[in-house]
Chain A
Amino acid sequence: QLQLQESGPGLVKPSETLSLTCTVSGGSISSTSNYWGWIRQPPGKGLEWIGSIYYSGSTSYNPSLKSRVTISVDTSKNQFSLKLSSVTAADTAVYYCARIDGSGWSPAFDYWGQGTLVTVSS
């Protein structure tokens, strides 16, 4: 059974960089059918896709965050990572990593991590 697990600091200071890692177990991040993504959810609000990466390193970002986001992959560790720079309180959210099943007609986020709350505060 595929599992994803987010890790990283739960508290980040304003203007600093948020860094999270997602560790994939029970399957290979190098699967050719899948992409890997980050989604966030501010407290009490809806879901926002941040960006995605393919095992080759090819990335796609939400235009609203593109200038501040970097997603990278480490296939040797079966991990992918998120960096979000110049954070403000508006970036406080639960951050999820997820697999995107690209094998079907409509790519869907079919496996998710449990999510990690990141609070931006001094």
Chain B
Amino acid sequence: DIQMTQSPSSLSASVGDRVTITCRASQSISSYLNWYQQKPGKAPKVLIYAASNLQSGVPSRFSGSGSGTDFTLTISSLQPEDFATYYCQQSYHTPPYTFGQGTKLEIK
């Protein structure tokens, strides 16, 4: 199975900050990488698909980049509603689809 490792596991930041979350795959997954946001008690929501494509309706302050094994999710200017847990997920070597362990973004 492909292992997905996110860093950091948790992060404290302030409104207006630029934040980057990293996801590393245990082997190359081309650009078959998606990013999700999950708020407490809610289902995850897809933000970015195929590494760098913004899902419809997602604010443009979210962006993704990378290919192969290393990927990043960037939030250009944090808003209060962005404090949540973020997951990466690979769709290249399936089954299984695998998720990263999550990055919890908290208010500083």
Of the candidates A101, A104, A108, the one having the most CB atoms from chain B within 10 angstroms of its own CB is A108
Q: Are B31 and A96 in contact (CB under 8 A)?
A: no
CA distance A96 to B46 in the complex (A): 14
Chain B interface category by residue count: 20 to 34
Contacting residues, chain A, for B99 (C-beta < 8 A) = 46-49
Number of interface residues of A (CB under 8 A): 26
Using Cβ atoms and an 8 Å threshold, which residues of chain A touch B33?
Answer: 106
Residues of chain A within 8 A of B91, CB atoms compared: 106-108
Cα A47 to Cα B96 with chains together (Å): 12
State which of A37, A48, A49, A109 has its C-beta within 8 Å of the C-beta of B46: A109
The answer, yes or no, to whether A60 is at the interface (CB within 8 Å) is yes
Q: Which of B38-94 contact A (CB under 8 A)?
A: 42-46, 49-51, 53, 55, 87, 89, 91-92, 94
Given the complex, which residues of A lie within 8 Å of B55, measured CB to CB? 108, 110
Q: Which of A24-32, A61-69, A76-84 has 4 or more CB atoms under 8 Å from chain B? A: A61-69
Q: In the bound complex, how far is the Cα of B96 from the Cα of A52, in angstroms?
A: 10
* A-B pair number, CB within 8 angstroms: 76
User: Closest CB-CB distance, A48 to chain B, in whole Å?
Assistant: 7
Is A114 at the interface (CB under 8 A from chain B)?
yes
**Residues of chain A contacted by B45 (CB below 8 angstroms):** 112
Most buried by B among A46, A62, A98: A46
Given A108-B91, A109-B89: A114 touches B49 (CB 8 Å cut-off):
no
Residues of A within 8 A of B (CB): 37, 46-49, 51-52, 60-64, 96, 98, 101, 104-110, 112-115
Q: A63-B96, A106-B32, A107-B91 are in contact. List 14 more A-B contacts (CB 8 A).
A: A46-B99, A46-B100, A46-B101, A48-B99, A52-B97, A60-B94, A96-B43, A96-B44, A106-B34, A106-B49, A106-B50, A108-B55, A113-B43, A114-B42
